[in-house]
Copies of this chain bind each other. A is one copy, B any other.
Amino acid sequence: MNKIIYKPIGIIHSPFLKPGNMPIQPAAALGIRGQIVIDEEYTEGLSDLEGFSHMYLIYHFHLSVSFKLRVIPFLDNRKRGVFSTRAPKRPNAIGLSVVRLIDINANILDIENVDIIDGTPLLDIKPYVQEMEAVDHYRTGWLSSRTQELKSKNSDNRFK
């Protein structure tokens, strides 16, 4: 299997029109509102989602046109393997964010804690259920001394 082809199910809208100076994670985007417009053909698939307060968005970093195997992440000043980071310049430019679901009206979802650039193509939505992940204690490698910075650090243009 050499090529996997997906088709966006909708578009994510947010206050962030350009990649510089935006929150690098949902933890830094508390209260920031956005909206998802799902293609009407998929509206039926949204039923029962309203009971969940949070959901995973899986989306395409559409501005990322190349990748690097080592990147200097926003939270560091040395190069790290790209798979140990959330940087957008990845072999497959897939993004993952947990956002808060505020409201659903037909094919429109109002969301909060949005760290995603306006116009991003959405690939999938999954309910956030921490019990599924089976993570009790965990270590966060090079990020462990930097998780406090997560909340205040914004992006710059390094991954343009």
Which residues of A come within 8 Å of B, CB atoms?
Answer: 1-9, 25-27, 29-30, 42, 44-56, 58, 60, 62, 69-70, 80-86, 90-92, 94, 96, 98, 113, 121, 123-135, 137-144, 147, 150
Contact = CB atoms under 8 A, between A and B. Distances in A.
Contact of A45 (B47, B82, B86): B82
A45 B25 contact: no
A91 B121 CA distance: 14
Given A5-B5, A44-B81, A121-B1, A132 B25 contact: yes
B52 A69 contact: no
Given A84-B48, A126-B83, A62 B92 contact: no
Contacts of A7: 2-4, 91-92
Chain A, interface SS category: mixed
A32 B69 CA distance: 29
A1 B121 CA distance: 8
B46 A83 contact: yes
Nearest to A67: B45
B134 A60 contact: no
Nearest to A140: B129
